[in-house]
Every structure is written in structure tokens, then in C-alpha cells.
């Protein structure tokens, strides 16, 4: 496994060494301050220890992490069983009852439509929305079991107007936050294009997502093509300094690293970042593939 540690004076020095040794797609695993030199602790200097991994080893790390997560899930499961099997049994009964109600409600629908509706309900889509979708499909197809491609096309035609994004007039410091992999950087790039081309705004981009070296480079390439000034901040303090110099723009779009709402440490880091950069607008970017209850939990936290 190609994992390397670097002891450096600052994060910029580490990034250059990581790209040289491990490539642009390397991932930073951790950073911490260490003290070295001196005698009996006297005169020691503070350095930054950075641990990084090459792209080809991410799969191995993911597999190892998956084993850890499986162990955690097993421990949680055992603990819950100790706390009371009746609670788990009650949960199963409720789930069975919900499935029975879904089947009963959709028993008169054609099989293809019924399958789609069950999918929405299992994803915990709001019941009022599901009812409207079911009614639309019932009126559209009657008792005919539709072809799957035609069904998806009709469903798309019905749903797209509800989720069509309209970018409002934006100004000031705009921060994009959210879990890993939901599309924060892509969303930022799309909004940047609208502000720059359609609204003729004078904008800039500041990225704080330096854990993914390749992502920062890709965003920089995009910004260059769009003729949008872009800067990279490796720490929240650097971000604050960069923002102090970026005063002549209508809007500054700030990209951040993905964070889990269930990780208290990451939430603390995000709060500290928000307090430091003082955004005028915060966009929480989420995936529509998440279950409704999970989305509510992310928004609440």
C-alpha cells in the first residue's frame, strides 16, 4: 500500500511533495502538528505531519474502512439486541404493516405503475406527492400496463417542472457545503457559469477543498476557461486572508470539502469555518437519491 508521511513547514510544501511522489489524484488522509528538534523539549520547532495515499490504493482503503464499518454495525446491532429485542420486533412489525398498506393501496394499478409508486414510497417521498404522481399515471394510462421506457419518459415530463432550478440574483460571499460526493463542485461551476455568462456578474472562486488534489486542479482549469479568477486556500485562516483581498467582486463562490452530518468533529470544523469566512449565503448541496428522512436529518444538523 503506497502511503507516505511528510513532515513540512506548511501545507503548500506538502501538496507539492505529494503531487510529485503520488500524483495529482492522491488523497490526503490526515494532518497534525508535531514538534521536532531541540534538547529535552527545549528549542523544539513545530512542523506539520501530512499523511497521503496514492490513487490506486483508495480501493484498498475503502475495503478496509468497509470492514471497520461492518464491525461497527455489528457492535451497534449487538448493543441494540441487548437493550431489547422487543424494540427490533416492533420495528419489523411496523415495516411489514407499511408494506401491506402499500400493496393494498396500489393493488388496482397496472404492475409497472405500481412498481414505480412502491419505489417512491419506500424512499419515503412525501405521501401527497406520491398520490399526485399515482393519479397522473392513472389518468395517463388507465388500466394499461405501460412500456417501461414510455413510463419513465412520461414520469420525467411530469416531474421536471417541479425540480427545475432557477438561479436568483446572488451577491456577496456564497459558501457551498454538504456531504461527500453530492456534487458541490459541479453545482458551484454551473452557478458560476450562469452568473458570469447570463447575468454578467463579476465573480471569483475560492476553493477550500484541498483534500482532493485533482478536484482543485479541475476546478482551476474550468475557471481558466471561463475567465473567472480563482484562488486556493489551504486553511480557514488562509481563506479569511484571501477573502480580505477579494473585495472588488459581485460574488465570491466558495467550495468546501465534503463533511458528514454524523461526524461531530467535521461539524465543528465546518462551524469554525463559517464563523471565520462569514458567508452571506450558504447553499447546502444534497443528492435527490437520499431518503426523505435522511435529507431531513442532514438539513436539521
- Give the cell for residue 166: 432557477
User: Which residues neighbour 58 within 8 Å (Cβ) at sequence distance 6 or greater?
Assistant: 27
Would the pLDDT of 34 be above 80?
Answer: yes
Q: Give the per-residue pLDDT at 267.
A: 78
Q: What is the pLDDT of residue 58?
A: 52
The mean pLDDT of 186-215, rounded to a whole number, is 84
188 pLDDT above the threshold of 70:
yes
Angle at 249 between CA 246 and CA 251, to 5 degrees: 105
Task: Give burial (CB, 10 Å; 0-12/13-18/19+) of 14.
Answer: buried
Q: What angle do CA 225, 228, 234 make, to 5 degrees?
A: 105
Each domain of the chain, given as residue ranges in start order, spans 3-62, 84-163, 172-300
Inter-axis angle of helices 11-22 and 213-225, nearest 10: 100
Taking only the tens place, the pLDDT of each residue in 220-262 is: 888 888 889 998 888 888 888 888 888 889 999 988 877 777 7
Confidence of residue 20 (pLDDT cuts 50, 70, 90): confident
Radius of gyration of the chain (CA): 25
Asked if 255 and 219 count as a contact pair (C-beta separation under 8 A), the reply is yes
The lowest-confidence range among 8-12, 98-102, 239-243, 295-299 is: 98-102
List beta partners, residue 251: 172, 203
Mean pLDDT score of the chain, rounded to an integer? 78
Q: Give me the pLDDT at residue 137, please.
A: 87
Neighbours of 63 (CB within 10 A): 10
Q: Are 14 and 27 in contact (CB under 8 A)?
A: no
Give 153-162 pLDDT, tens digit per residue: 888 888 877 7
Please give the span between the terminal C-alpha atoms of the chain, in angstroms, as a whole number: 36
SS (H, E, C) the chain: CCEEEEEECCHHHHHHHHHHHHCCCCEEEEEEEEEECCECCECCEEEEEEEEECHHHHHHHHHHHHHHHHHHHHHHHHHHHHHCHHHHHHHHHHHHHHHHHHHHHCCCCCHHHHHHHHHHHHCCCCHHHHHHHHHHHHHHHCCCCCCHHHHHHHHHHHHHHHHCCCCCCCCEEEEEECCCCCCHHHHHHHHHHHHHHHCCCCEEEEECCCCEHHHHHHHHHHHHHCCCCEEECCCHHHHHHHHHHCCCCCEEEEECCCCCCCCHHHHHHHHHHHHHHCCCEEEECCCCCCCHHHHHHHHHC
Residue 52 has a pLDDT of: 85
The mean per-residue pLDDT over the stretch 58-76 comes to: 57
Return the number of other C-beta atoms located less than 10 Å from residue 8's C-beta.
17
pLDDT tens digits for 102-150?
Answer: 555 656 778 888 888 888 877 777 777 888 888 888 888 888 888 888 8
Of residues 97 and 65, which shows the higher confidence score?
97
0.85 surpassed by pTM: no
172-300: CATH class: alpha beta
Of the two residues 62 and 163, the one the predictor is more confident about is 163
Residue 175 has pLDDT above 80, yes or no: yes
Determine the average pLDDT of the residues in 15-25.
85
pLDDT exceeds 90 at position 3: no
Q: Identify the residue with better confidence: 204 or 208.
A: 204
- The closest of 17, 21, 26 to 215, measured between CA atoms, is 26
Around Cβ 184, how many Cβ atoms within 10 Å?
23
Amino acid at each position: 500500500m503506497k502511503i507516505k508521511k511528510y513532515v513540512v513547514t506548511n501545507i503548500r510544501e506538502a501538496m507539492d511533495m505529494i503531487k510529485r511522489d503520488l500524483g495529482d489524484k492522491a488523497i490526503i488522509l490526515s494532518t497534525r502538528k508535531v514538534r521536532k528538534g531541540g534538547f529535552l523539549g527545549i528549542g523544539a520547532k513545530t512542523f506539520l505531519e501530512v499523511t497521503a495515499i496514492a490513487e490506486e490504493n483508495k480501493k484498498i482503503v475503502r475495503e478496509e474502512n468497509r470492514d471497520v464499518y461492518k464491525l461497527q454495525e455489528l457492535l451497534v446491532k449487538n448493543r441494540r439486541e441487548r437493550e431489547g429485542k422487543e424494540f427490533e420486533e416492533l420495528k419489523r412489525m411496523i415495516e411489514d404493516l407499511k408494506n401491506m398498506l402499500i400493496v393494498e393501496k396500489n393493488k388496482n394499478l397496472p404492475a409497472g405503475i405500481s412498481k414505480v409508486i412502491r419505489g417512491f414510497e419506500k424512499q419515503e417521498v412525501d405521501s401527497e406527492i406520491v398520490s399526485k404522481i399515482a393519479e397522473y399515471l392513472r389518468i395517463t394510462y388507465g388500466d394499461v400496463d405501460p412500456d417501461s421506457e414510455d413510463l419513465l419518459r412520461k414520469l420525467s415530463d411530469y416531474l421536471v417542472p417541479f425540480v427545475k432550478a432557477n438561479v436568483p440574483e446572488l451577491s456577496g460571499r456564497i459558501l457551498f457545503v454538504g456531504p461527500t460526493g453530492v456534487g458541490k463542485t459541479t453545482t458551484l461551476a454551473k452557478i458560476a457559469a450562469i452568473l458570469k455568462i447570463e447575468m454578467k456578474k463579476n465573480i471569483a472562486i475560492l476553493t477550500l477543498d484541498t483534500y482532493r488534489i485533482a478536484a482543485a486542479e479541475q476546478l482551476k482549469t474550468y475557471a481558466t476557461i471561463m475567465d473567472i479568477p480563482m484562488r486556493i486556500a489551504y486553511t480557514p485562516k488562509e481563506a479569511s486572508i484571501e477573502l480580505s483581498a477579494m473585495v472588488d467582486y459581485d460574488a465570491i463562490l466558495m467550495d468546501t470539502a465534503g463533511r458528514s452530518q454524523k461526524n461531530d468533529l467535521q461539524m465543528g470544523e465546518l462551524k469554525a469555518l463559517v464563523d471565520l469566512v462569514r458567508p452571506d449565503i450558504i447553499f447546502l448541496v444534497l443528492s435527490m437519491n437520499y431518503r426523505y428522512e435522511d435529507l431531513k436529518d442532514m438539513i436539521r444538523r
